[in-house]
Amino acid sequence: MTVGPRQVPLLAGLEKCRDAGDGLLCESRARWVVLVFVSIMPFGVHMCYKMTSGIQTHLMHDAFGEPISTMQYGLLNSAVSWPQLFVPFLAGPLVDCKATRLAGIVATLIGLSGQLLFTLGCQWSSFPLALTGRAVFGAGEGVVMIAQGVAIAQWFRGAELTLAIAIAEMSHNVANWSGKVAVVAGIDYGGWWITLWIGVGVCGVGVIAACIFGCIERHYEKSYTTALAKHGTVQCRAFNNLTTSLWLLIVIHLLCSNVEHLFDTTSANFIQGKWHADTSKAAWLSSLNYAAAMVLCPAVGLLIDKSCMRMPLAIAACCFLGCAHLLLGLTTVAPAVGLLMLSLPQAVMPTILRASAPLVVSPTVFGLAFGAFGLAENLGKTIGAPLVGYIKDQDGNYTNIELGYASVSFVAASLVMLLCIIDRRSGGVLGSPAYTPQPKGSCDEENCHAAVVPY
């Protein structure tokens, strides 16, 4: 493929060529240790965001003295997204300029502080304090995901990149599942409110993981100065480096991630109302939409790397997502069936979307690209969470909400089809198997195969 004046070399090989004098960071054994700790880093914030679903009934009726409405409960969830409407535009470019470890450590500390404030607000029956805590928590949650994405893109290349992101997504899904079932542990240990303190403790583990990652990155900066160097700039013109393919990926992510997140925030209550399950049973059932995702993410990553199935899988996953919500909304089939169906798209879409982003932009704007992903996701949650609560308060059930989720899923499938067409005209980066790394030490300007994409 000829590299034109408006094309830039990307992940697969050129960075390895540039790093040859310093050693190949993506061949360092430490990369797998880094992956472990950057996967643990956001575990607590993911868990704490999802745990509100399992304790929704208690938050609405027991936490704040006077009962709160479904819309107010939605505000507690949308508050997580408020700071993330602007923080990614600051954090993304800063991560492109500064050491990734700084963003990871600061973000996990902010997330821990926010969860502590939320927990104290619930203990002291103070809705304003709890709402403030959720907003502070959200500022940390958004940045830690940017730091994780950039760290993985720095330490992994070619065929290993998708696998690394898939493993991080597997950890993400385990955290989401843990947040759903933590309420059962809390009730067993004395009360639903203990669930919130479990969240505080796990957020503390995330801070420790971020610090360990920071120590590793700082140590390796001495040997891999070029690979860990940052060349981004905090300038508005950096947005010019975001391609059409990336913007389409962002819109697809906005739709798919919000179907998943918004459903998750009310799934336990939905199951309690429609199938008359108690709190513990509803929490267990609502966690089933992560069953397949917890084990299949790495396999999906390997399949994407070794085949041209990235886009066909994405289309099928979006359609399957829509069908699952139609089943849950329009039938009384046991909820476990629909929830297990949801777990299959959840194993596919986050891995495909996050692994595709570094393939279609320059490495100088990785942070900005992942920040834009976070912004899109949280824009939907900010508007969607109170809207879902309002519709539930008006209708008294979730039928129309489920139909809405299904419609959005099918729209996402059509956008993936459009992305396929644009990608083919741009060189077919997303429709091709991932680059397989050369044997150690064999990478040079002649045999490196750099992926290219219109800039």
Q: Which two tokens stand for residue 256?
A: 């798919």
For residue 232, pLDDT over 60 is answered with no
Average pLDDT over residues 10-25: 43
Q: CA-CA distance, 334 to 42, in Å (whole number)? A: 33
Average pLDDT over residues 385-396: 88
Q: Tell me, what's the pLDDT at 1? A: 38
Q: Assess contact for 145 and 38: CB atoms under 8 A.
A: no
In 243-365, where does DSSP find H-type helix? Answer: 244-275, 279-286, 293-305, 310-330, 335-356
Q: Among 5-9, 189-193, 373-377, 421-425, where is mean pLDDT lowest?
A: 5-9
Beta strands 452-454 and 7-9: pairing type?
antiparallel
Write down the residue that tokens 């209708």 correspond to: 395
Q: Tell me, what's the pLDDT at 57? A: 82
Q: Which residue has the higher pLDDT, 277 or 337?
A: 337
Q: CA-CA distance, 339 to 281, in Å (whole number)? A: 14
Q: Among 30-44, 107-121, 209-223, 278-292, where is mean pLDDT lowest?
A: 278-292
Q: Which residue has the higher pLDDT, 64 or 21?
A: 64
Q: Tell me, what's the pLDDT at 2? A: 40
Q: What is the pTM of this model?
A: 0.74
Q: Tell me, what's the pLDDT at 436? A: 47
pLDDT band, residue 228 (cuts 50/70/90): low
At position 91, the amino acid (one-letter code) is A
The mean of the pLDDT values for the chain is 82
Q: Which residue has the higher pLDDT, 180 or 259?
A: 259
Model confidence pLDDT, tens digit, residues 427-451: 888 887 764 444 444 443 333 333 3
For residue 106, pLDDT over 80 is answered with yes
At position 443, the amino acid (one-letter code) is C
Burial of 379 (0-12, 13-18, 19+ CB in 10 A): middle
Q: Which CATH architecture has domain 7-436?
A: Up-down Bundle (1.20)
Domain boundary assignment for the chain: 7-436
Model confidence pLDDT, tens digit, residues 278-330: 877 887 888 888 888 888 888 888 888 777 888 999 999 999 999 999 999 99
Model confidence pLDDT, tens digit, residues 22-73: 346 777 888 899 999 999 999 999 999 888 877 888 888 888 888 888 888 8
Nearest to 93 by CA among 103, 105, 85: 103
Average pLDDT over residues 97-104: 86
